Amino acid sequence: MKYQYHIFSPYRVCPLGAHVDHQHGIVTGFAIDKGVDFWFTPSNDGHVHLESRTFDGMIDFDVTQASLMKQYNWGDYARGAKYALRKRFNLKYGIEGIIQGSLPVGGLSSSAAVLIAYVMALAKANGIELEPFEVVNIASEAEREYIGLNNGLLDHACIALGKKDGLLFLDCDSNDYRIIKRNPDMPDFEIGIFFSGLTRSLVNSDYNLRVYECKTAAWNMLAYTEQPLKKFDKTYLRDIPKSTYDKCRIAMPNRFARRAEHFYSEYRRVRQGVTAWESGNMRLLGKLSLDSCESSIYNYECGSPELIAIYEIMRTLPGVYGGRFSGAGFKGACIALVDPAHKKEIERELTRQYLDKFPEYEKTFKVFWVIPDDGARFV
């Protein structure tokens, strides 16, 4: 190809740690062997010209100029990367490139994968050396401040830091992380991606509303216990002890109590899941992932009828250790940890039962099989 550089930025899956990164919780995740490929060449000036094999249209802008308002097209992610980098560095050179995704959009953090690719490319073009966690912070800031999604670090950390032979464990309060090596006694597993046929945009979903509900729950608990209130954007459930929640839950509106219940129960599941991974207990890890999805449905109240149907079908199938909604659980996909010996039967039976319920998705429902992989890198 005519381009000088090639970046592969993987998608990610999160077996445990749903909906808690924005509340400074603890999370786990894998980078996977499917993702975004970005081919590019640095420009001789500040001009950026981008094309996509996934979306229509071409994107043009100048990195030396102040960021414009969002344009509400796929180029916003490149403009967001420029926005966050310009807060730290003087950008002189743009890029010319083409980007392509390998799986349908929805549930695998394709937006974070794209952002990380653009951050790495613009840094390369401008001779900026970035450590992997700097890439995480810059991409996350771009998504929060420019794109408008009030997320945490989970997606970007999995994509930038993942390792094929380990599980990422990240504390979103301290930003401490480690890669936990796979136990040699752990049985083989692959990851099933069950794409419902629906796409979704988190910015236009109830994602941000749930973030505000979690913060309101934390504010309620501070008020009920007569503690000083913090600024709303600096209020996190992680700062409120579980014992305070136990005292306040009855007094809180049910909506906020359920959001907090999900946070505290997911915190416990992540701790247990890390122990399960370290000891090679895939069955326990899978069960905890199923429990996480139950809490996502009933306490966090996310999941479309299509996703809930996939979840309910897959949990009954032989060879499925466990699984949950992928990403935020608003449309998109489900993931499952599975015994590879049962892949064919799982795909056949899941497809049959799902399309019996939702025949309108016959052409768009997809099943993919992936494995853990290393994080974003130059190829």
Annotated active-site residue in 76, 155, 291, 373: 155
Q: What is the dihedral of CA 186, 191, 192, 195, to 10 degrees?
A: 150
Active site residue 33: no
Q: Strands 366-370 and 372-373: what pairing?
A: unpaired
Distance CA(16)–CA(170), nearest Å, equals: 11
Q: Which residue spans within 197-291 are E strands per DSSP? A: none
How many Å apart are CA 191 and CA 207, to the nearest integer? Answer: 25
Neighbours of 228 (CB within 10 A): 6
Pairing of strands 95-101, 47-52: parallel
Q: How many residues does the chain have?
A: 379
Beta bridge partner(s), residue 48: 61
CA dihedral sign of residues 344, 348, 351, 354:
negative
Instruction: Return d(Cα 322, Cα 317) in angstroms, integer.
Output: 10
Kindly give the interhelix angle for 154-161 and 110-125, rounded to the nearest 10 degrees.
60
Cα–Cα distance, 237 to 230 (Å, whole number): 12
- For 70-97, give one letter per residue: b (16+ CB within 10 A) or e: eeeebbbbbbbbbbbbbeeeebebbbbb
- Residue pair 92/64 in contact by the 8 Å Cβ criterion: yes
Cα→Cα distances 281→170, 210, 288, Å: 20, 32, 11
**What residues does 39 pair with on adjacent strands?**
6, 98
d(CA 16, CA 207): 18
**Using only C-alpha atoms, what is the Rg of the chain?**
21
The residues annotated as belonging to the active site are 155
